[in-house]
């Protein structure tokens, strides 16, 4: 909008009218820019939903992966875990090198992940759960706490922790992201293997030969080692 460089009002009434017109034009311009921004946001959201991550060829034959799942929303979580396990198998991760345990709900995931990370028996951990927004602020509080907690476990223990928790507004969104070709568990499994390999490269491999919360390795009289009984939750 082009405005005159100078304006000499003849009286106070003209000055008031000019100010009102100028204010209206400014509001109109801001509203136009704001409407353009909102018109673009649905496209960005669709790209986020339909986008995919490209993974390199991964050799997970020596990777040890821990999976911690919730019993809350059990059916959907099981579908996600199945997708995760399929991805692990496709990259060559042996069944014996996959440790799986469960906790009641998503809020317990960070604590369980920390215990498993501190055991030194896995190279990466996938925390799997489902949160669906309800009528209260519970969803926001739990989502914030769980995402921050899982991230902190990875940073504090140097064991990669994958945030495998769906945070959805509706059950329909959960189904779309936990079944079929859009099963997010597959990407989480691939992410775990890639980060496990990165950790091994940086730290020089795994630390303990047993999986999960196992007992120390015992050395017999013959000199051969034997693993003690596995201890879980």
CA nearest to 158, candidates 110, 117, 111? 117
Which helix (H) or strand (E) covers residue 50, if one does?
Answer: helix 12-50
138 is known as an active-site residue: yes
| Contact present, 204 and 198 (Cβ < 8 Å) | no
| Contact present, 143 and 167 (Cβ < 8 Å) | yes
| Contact present, 214 and 120 (Cβ < 8 Å) | no
| Cα–Cα distance for residue pair 84/65, rounded to 1 Å | 10
| Cα–Cα distance for residue pair 207/210, rounded to 1 Å | 9
Angle 210-192-132 from CA coordinates, rounded to 5° = 115
| Active-site position among 46, 74, 138, 208 | 138
Task: Indicate the DSSP class of residue 99.
Answer: E
Going 178 to 181 to 182 to 187, the CA torsion angle's sign is positive
- The angle that helices 74-90 and 171-178 make with each other, rounded to 10 degrees, is 20
Hey, which residues are catalytic here?
A: 138
């Amino acid at each position: 909008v082009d405005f005159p460089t100078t304006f000499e009002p003849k009286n106070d009434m003209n000055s008031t009218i000019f100010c009102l017109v100028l204010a209206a034009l400014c509001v109109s311009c801001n509203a136009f820019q704001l409407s353009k921004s909102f018109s673009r946001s649905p496209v960005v959201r669709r790209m986020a939903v339909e986008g995919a991550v490209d993974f390199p060829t991964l050799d997970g034959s020596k990777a040890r992966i821990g999976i911690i799942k919730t019993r809350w929303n059990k059916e959907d979580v099981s579908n996600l875990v199945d997708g995760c396990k399929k991805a692990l198998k496709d990259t060559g991760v042996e069944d014996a090198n996959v440790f799986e345990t469960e906790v009641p709900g998503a809020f317990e995931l960070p604590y369980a992940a920390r215990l498993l990370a501190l055991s030194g028996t896995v190279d990466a951990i996938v925390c799997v759960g489902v949160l669906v927004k309800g009528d209260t602020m519970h969803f926001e509080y739990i989502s914030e706490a769980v995402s921050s907690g899982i991230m902190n476990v990875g940073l504090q223990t140097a064991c990669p922790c994958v945030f495998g928790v769906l945070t959805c507004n509706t059950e329909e969104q959960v189904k779309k992201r936990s079944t079929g070709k859009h099963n997010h568990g597959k990407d989480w499994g691939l992410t775990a293997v890639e980060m496990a390999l990165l950790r091994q490269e940086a730290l020089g491999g795994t630390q303990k030969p047993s999986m999960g919360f196992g007992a120390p390795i015992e050395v017999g009289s013959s000199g051969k080692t034997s693993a003690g009984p596995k201890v879980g939750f």
